[in-house]
Structure formats: structure tokens, C-alpha cells
Chains A and B, each alone.
Chain A
Amino acid sequence: MRVLYVEDSPRLLRSVAAALERTGYAVDTASDGEEGLWMAGCAAYDAVILDIMLPKLDGLTLLRRMREAGNDAHVLLLTARDTVAERVEGLRTGADDYLVKPFALEELLARVEALCRRTYGAKQNPIVVDDLSVDTAQRIVTRAGRPVDLTAREYNLMEYLARRRGEVVTRADIEEHIYNGESPTSNAVDSAVCILRRKLAIDNPAPLIHTRRGLGYVLGPDR
């Protein structure tokens, strides 16, 4: 899941971005409104965390411009402005959620996760595909009732495929949503998928990740 965080307080930017990365998100950051708007237009983010009082371009204007440009990424306003009128204004401008500073890190992560879930239209947790279960809250994957041991990046790939189950997911999509800042080598996605397939086959050999030649991958039961 790729998240954009726009915040002008460098310390908060640093620590929240680090917390998001440790949770498994690919995080991009911007420290003023103009940079934030530019970045929001550059990639398809699963969630955008936006401060309101930003230099150069305030958060609400940034949000309005994003919406005007047809960008429908899920936006969480994270701000010190706490009155009902301000929350209402923020939500009416096009935000999906609103969190007031100071906040509990746990709550911020849960809200970001909920926004990412919404991006793929899945509200239930865990996501179940045949005998595979992906618990996005606990970040645990099981196949045929047994846990599958995955690294953080493998889990992110698994969750991304699970969220978009039944759809063709291109290599470019995977690169954009899973890799944090670094540009993966040409066959990195293929080898990651290959490793994931192997680990999923330990408890049940029936394939779940299918290749659509020239297009990408689809997660679904074997037919």
C-alpha cells in the first residue's frame, strides 16, 4: 500500500513516516502544500495523510485541487484544528476521514488501514480466497488453516494481491504500491511472486496466483 504524507513539522513527518513504513506501507512525504499537490498527481496513492496548515498551499486547497483534477485517493486530514465547523469543512471539501492532533499512533494506523481497505472495496477482515486467509489487522496469512511464514515485503505483496483478488494486477501496479522509494530490478516482481507461490503451496499445492501472460497476475481459486 502506498501512502503520501504531507506535513510541515519535520519531526512529525519523520516519525509518522517511519511508523507507517514499519507497518508495511510504502511512504512518500512532502513538507509543503505545493510539493504535496505535485506528488499526489505523480502516483496512485492508496491513502493521503494531509495536514491543513501547510506553507505555500494549505491542506484544504490542496485537497480541493486534487478533487478538481479527478484524483479520488482516500484522504485523511491530520490537523490541530479541532472545532466541529473545521471538521465539517474538511469532510465537505472531500476528505474521507479527519483526525485531530495530538493523536494515538495506533488510531492513525487503523484509520489509514481502513482507508486502504476502502480503496479496494473490501470492508471485511480477514480477506478470504478459497482456503487462503489474509488478516490485514494482525498481518497474518494462513493457508488451509496453517500460518504461512512471510517477510514484510512478501506480506505486502500478498495483501495487495488479496485486496485486488479476481483482478489482473500488473507488474507496474505492484512496483508502485509495494516498493518504497527504491526502483526494483526488472525481474524483482516476478521473483517475489515466485517465492510467494512457493510458500503458499507448502500446505496446499493448488495454485492461487495465476499468470496472465503479457498482463500480470490474478489471485483466485484454481479453475
Chain B
Amino acid sequence: MNGSIRRRLTVSLLSTLFVVFAAGMVALHFAVREEFIESFDQALATEARAISTLVTVRADGTVSLAFSDKFLRGFDDDVASDFYQLWDADGGSLARSESLEDKPDLPMKAGSMKKPKYFFLELPDGKRGRGIGVRFEPRPAIKGTKAESRPLTLVVAAHSGRLDEELRELLIETGTWAAALLLAVGLLVPWLLHLGLKPLDRLADEVAAVDASTLDARFATGALPLELTPIATKLNAFMERLEASFERERRVSAAMAHELRTPIAELRTLAESALRWPDTRPPATDADALDIARQMEAIVSRMLALARSESGQLAAARQPANPAEHVRRAWQSLEGAAAARRASAAIEVEPAQVEADPALLHSILVNLIENAIEYGPEGGTIRITGTAQADGYRLLVANAAPDLTPTDTAHLFERFWRKEAARSGGVHMGLGLALVREFARAMGWEVHARLEPPQTLVIALLAPLQAASAGRPDPG
């Protein structure tokens, strides 16, 4: 999903809070409004009850109203803020407040005494008002007598000007508060989000600042909130790997440049000397030039082989192979080189059938043995052992390595890595073991290096056995 978290949170929080606040304020407004109207209605009900208690019925059925408009000032014609009218059961008007004067009747709407009817109305004087209508049975004029009575209808109404005014004020007040609260929410939400997302912003800034020159930078996890700590921890681990791989690449590029610079310098010096002193050109010049070309060719072809292997272009043609036979052939091809360094071999390789690409396996073995001859002490013994085990076929090439340290073994398979930074000439340029690793990988083999006491370098190859012949010797 695209877009910013901050924007999405702001929009969703603001819209939700706006709706909730607005609904709350509307509900509050109506609750308070009801309260106001109810208290107005109570006053009306009190007046209606007061008037109804003063209405009596005589034994002959006539109704009398012992009430004067002077009792309640509002009913008087000079104030005329309150009104009442009384009707008999047939709808004949029995009494009207003075305030009604010659104005039309009040509307005859009524409920019971227990459940009176309240309503807004336009008063006879044209103003807005609120009224109460009740139907009730008047009490007999003389206590204890029984009079035939029929229910009367009483409507009491009053100007609702003050109520309306209060309701208007309430509306303005709740509206103002609602606006103020919504404004506060509108300001607080982005600010709180800004505070809340600060660690994320900081982390994002730190990540954005990383480039190839600052790969040693690490993200501080201490100050981060719990949710971001795993992200920063993962990022740090990623940075570590990235830094290591950049460093390795840098080392390889520098080493390759170095490996090529020296033969180029040799070639250039040879050519410049020959041009400068044509008469005294040493006879070895051409042989030297050829050697240099061969060395550069070896570097380039090995680099190409590595690049092909690393990019997955090296297709291993796996087929059953007998390691014992391959070891024998590899040693044979290097007997001359071994003799030059008075190196001997102790070979104990069990015959077996493993899955291997014959060309790659030969190259692996030649590189390992060549390495042991070249870097082992002069006159040393190279031990090559092969045993079929439950987890596969284990092929070990071991030679004395007096100068190697355990930390060196981690670099052995790096391109151009050599214990001694200096060149030793010839075709050894620190690519042999890198090739071994890549070729082993291409065949689905594993390769490890370890230093065993007393100062012996052991390079172990682990090959998957052919299922049918696992552990079974095969004369091959």
C-alpha cells in the first residue's frame, strides 16, 4: 500500500474523532434541551393542577370554578403571559382566562391527569407558546356528597419566549464548544502523531543517510520503541552483512588490480627497455613476455570461471564417479611440481561411487593438491584420505601449514586471498581455493577448511553418495 502512515492515521483519526465528537455534542445538546423543556412543562403542570383542584361540581351537575385570574398574575389581562380555558364534556367552553379576552379559543388537546398532553402552539396573541392539556373529573363541591360528574378538559398555555431564548443560548453554547473541541482535536491529532512517529522518522532518516561510504554505521536500538527494535536489529544485521560483502568486494577488486598491475608493469618495462636500448636486448625478453601473457591469461580465465560459476552459468554434468581414480589422476598430473618441491603424497582413498562432474572434480583436486605443494613446507607430505560415511563421502587433503592461524581459515576461499600479501609469481594468484569452493557448490558438494594440531591445514570435501552404492566399495 502506498501513501504515508502519518497521512492515513491523521485522516482516519480526525474523521473518526470528528464524527464521535459531533454526535456527542448533538446528543448532549438534545439532552439538555429536553431538560429545559421538562422543567418548563413541570411549571405548566403545576398551574394546571392548581386550577383543576379549584374546579368543583355541584349535586345538580353544574361546574364552578373558584379561581380568580388575580391569583396567578400571568393570567391577568394586563400581563397576559399565561392562558387557560376549561371545557365541559361536550366541548362547551366553561371558563377562559382574562388574558384570552376576546381572542380565539385555545386548541382543545388533552391527555389524562397522569399523562398530560404537552404541545407547542401559536397563542391567541400570535406569540409562540407551550401548552398542557388534561382531562379530569372535578371533585364535588361539598365533601362527602356524591355528584354526577363528567370529565372536563383544561388547557393551560404560557409564552415560551424565555424557553426559546434559553434553547437558543444552549444551541450557541454547544455549537461553540463543539467547534472549539473539534479545533483542538484537529490540532492535537497531528501533533501527537508527530510525537508518536518521531522514532520512526529518525530511523527513516538514519536509513536514508546510509550509502556505500557509511556502511559501518549502526542504528541505535536503545532509544527505539519496542515495535521498532526488531526492525533496527534486523537492519543492523543486514548492514553488517552488507559491509562485510562490500569489504570483500573491495578486497577482491584491489587484489585483482594488484595482480594485474604487476604483470603489466613487467611487460611495460620489458617493452620500454627494448625500445630504449635495442642493441642490448636481453635474450630472455621474449620468454619473459610469454610468461607474463600466460600469467595474465590464467588470471583472466580463472576470474571468468569464477564469475560464470557465481552467476549460476556453470552447469555441472553430474554422473557417478570414483574419487580414488580422480585422486590418482590428479596426483599424477602434478608429480613434476611435487618433485620440484620434494613433496610426497600419502593417499588412502576408499573407492566409492559419488555424484560429480568429472572435469570439475579433477579441477578441484588439482587445485587442492597444487595448493598443498605450493604452500606446504618443502619436502612435506600431503595426506589425501577418502572415506564413505553415513552422511556422504568425505575427502580430506591435509598438509603442514606452519604459518597459518585459525582466523586465516575463514579467508582461505576468498578470491585473491593469500597468507602472505606478496606475490609468489607463477599461476598462483589466490584464485585456486575460490574456484574449488565454486566448483564444489556447482556439483552440490560441501567444502570446509580447518586447522588441526599440529599446524595442519585440512580441506574437507563432503560429497553426496550415490544412493545405491552408499558405503559400498566399488573397484571403479
CB distance from B53 to the nearest CB of A (A): 110
> Is A118 in the interface zone, CB < 8 Å from B?
no
Q: Are B269 and A53 in contact (CB under 8 A)?
A: no
Q: Are A55 and B273 in contact (CB under 8 A)?
A: no
Report which residue of A15, A53, A106 has the largest number of chain B beta carbons within 10 angstroms of its beta carbon: A15
Report which residue of A58, A103, A105, A106 has the largest number of chain B beta carbons within 10 angstroms of its beta carbon: A105
CB distance from A8 to the nearest CB of B (A): 5
17 contacts between A and B (CB under 8 A): A8-B422, A8-B423, A8-B424, A12-B269, A18-B273, A22-B280, A51-B422, A53-B423, A54-B422, A55-B420, A55-B424, A82-B257, A82-B261, A83-B254, A100-B261, A101-B265, A102-B265
Which of A14, A53, A106 is in CB contact (< 8 Å) with B422? A53
Q: Which of A32-79 contact B (CB under 8 A)?
A: 32, 51, 53-55, 58
Determine the distance from Cα of A105 to Cα of B274 in the docked complex, in whole angstroms: 11
Binds A, one of B284-292, B314-322, B428-436: B284-292
Nearest 7 CB-CB pairings of A with B: A80-B261, A101-B265, A105-B272, A102-B265, A102-B264, A80-B258, A55-B422
Q: Which residues of B contact A15 (CB under 8 A)?
A: 266, 269-270, 273, 288
Closest to B289 in A: A11
Q: Are B422 and A58 in contact (CB under 8 A)?
A: yes
Report which residue of B265, B273, B288 has the largest number of chain A beta carbons within 10 angstroms of its beta carbon: B265
Determine the distance from Cα of A54 to Cα of B422 in the docked complex, in whole angstroms: 5
> Is B277 in the interface zone, CB < 8 Å from A?
yes
Q: Which residues of A contact B291 (CB under 8 A)?
A: 11
Which of A19, A32, A51 is in CB contact (< 8 Å) with B273? A19
CB distance from B180 to the nearest CB of A (A): 64
> Is A87 in the interface zone, CB < 8 Å from B?
no
Closest to A108 in B: B269
Q: Are B269 and A81 in contact (CB under 8 A)?
A: no
Which of B269, B273, B425 is in CB contact (< 8 Å) with A10? B425
> Is A16 in the interface zone, CB < 8 Å from B?
yes
Report which residue of A8, A11, A18 has the largest number of chain B beta carbons within 10 angstroms of its beta carbon: A11
Q: Are B421 and A9 in contact (CB under 8 A)?
A: no
Closest to B270 in A: A15
> Is A215 in the interface zone, CB < 8 Å from B?
no
Closest to B281 in A: A18
Binary contact readout B250-275 vs A (1 if CB under 8 angstroms, 0 otherwise): 00001001100110111111101100
Number of interface residues of A (CB under 8 A): 28
Q: Which residues of B contact A101 (CB under 8 A)?
A: 261-262, 264-265
A interface list, Cβ under 8 A from B: 8-12, 14-16, 18-19, 22, 32, 51, 53-55, 58, 80-83, 100-106
Q: Which residues of B contact A18 (CB under 8 A)?
A: 273, 282
Q: Are A105 and B268 in contact (CB under 8 A)?
A: yes
Determine the distance from Cα of A100 to Cα of B93 in the docked complex, in whole angstroms: 126
Q: Which residues of B contact A102 (CB under 8 A)?
A: 261, 264-265, 267-268
> Is B276 in the interface zone, CB < 8 Å from A?
yes
User: Is chain B's binding surface mostly helix, strand, loop or mixed?
Assistant: helix
Q: Are B276 and A80 in contact (CB under 8 A)?
A: no
Q: Which residues of A contact B424 (CB under 8 A)?
A: 8, 55
Determine the distance from Cα of A189 to Cα of B166 in the docked complex, in whole angstroms: 130
Q: Are B273 and A53 in contact (CB under 8 A)?
A: no
Q: Which of B68-120 contact A (CB under 8 A)?
A: none
Determine the distance from Cα of A163 to Cα of B257 in the docked complex, in whole angstroms: 40
Which of B265, B267, B288, B421 is in CB contact (< 8 Å) with A58? B421
Determine the distance from Cα of A11 to Cα of B190 in the docked complex, in whole angstroms: 73
Closest to B273 in A: A19
Q: Are B288 and A9 in contact (CB under 8 A)?
A: no
Excluding A12-B269, A51-B422, 12 further A-B contacts by CB distance (< 8 Å) are: A9-B262, A9-B266, A12-B262, A53-B421, A55-B422, A58-B421, A80-B257, A80-B261, A102-B264, A102-B267, A103-B268, A105-B272
Q: Are B425 and A9 in contact (CB under 8 A)?
A: yes
Q: Which residues of A contact B270 (CB under 8 A)?
A: 11, 15
Q: Are B257 and A19 in contact (CB under 8 A)?
A: no
Determine the distance from Cα of A32 to Cα of B425 in the docked complex, in whole angstroms: 13
Closest to B275 in A: A105
Q: Are B425 and A14 in contact (CB under 8 A)?
A: no
Determine the distance from Cα of A134 to Cα of B75 in the docked complex, in whole angstroms: 141
Q: Are B268 and A11 in contact (CB under 8 A)?
A: no
CB distance from A58 to the nearest CB of B (A): 7
Determine the distance from Cα of A211 to Cα of B425 in the docked complex, in whole angstroms: 50
CB distance from A22 to the nearest CB of B (A): 5
Q: Are B288 and A104 in contact (CB under 8 A)?
A: no
Which of A11, A51, A53, A83 is in CB contact (< 8 Å) with B266? A11
Q: Are A11 and B288 in contact (CB under 8 A)?
A: yes
Determine the distance from Cα of A83 to Cα of B254 in the docked complex, in whole angstroms: 9
Q: Which residues of A contact B280 (CB under 8 A)?
A: 22
Q: Which residues of A contact B267 (CB under 8 A)?
A: 102
CB distance from A28 to the nearest CB of B (A): 18
Closest to B255 in A: A80
Determine the distance from Cα of A127 to Cα of B257 in the docked complex, in whole angstroms: 41
CB distance from B213 to the nearest CB of A (A): 13
Determine the distance from Cα of A171 to Cα of B210 in the docked complex, in whole angstroms: 66
CB distance from B145 to the nearest CB of A (A): 126
Q: Are B284 and A14 in contact (CB under 8 A)?
A: yes
Which of B273, B420, B423 is in CB contact (< 8 Å) with A105? B273
Q: Are A104 and B272 in contact (CB under 8 A)?
A: yes
Q: Which residues of A contact B265 (CB under 8 A)?
A: 12, 80, 101-103
Closest to B280 in A: A22
Q: Are B261 and A106 in contact (CB under 8 A)?
A: no
CB distance from B313 to the nearest CB of A (A): 30
Q: Which residues of A contact B262 (CB under 8 A)?
A: 9, 12, 80, 101
CB distance from A76 to the nearest CB of B (A): 14
Closest to A100 in B: B261
Q: Are A105 and B269 in contact (CB under 8 A)?
A: yes
CB distance from A21 to the nearest CB of B (A): 10
Q: Which residues of B contact A83 (CB under 8 A)?
A: 254
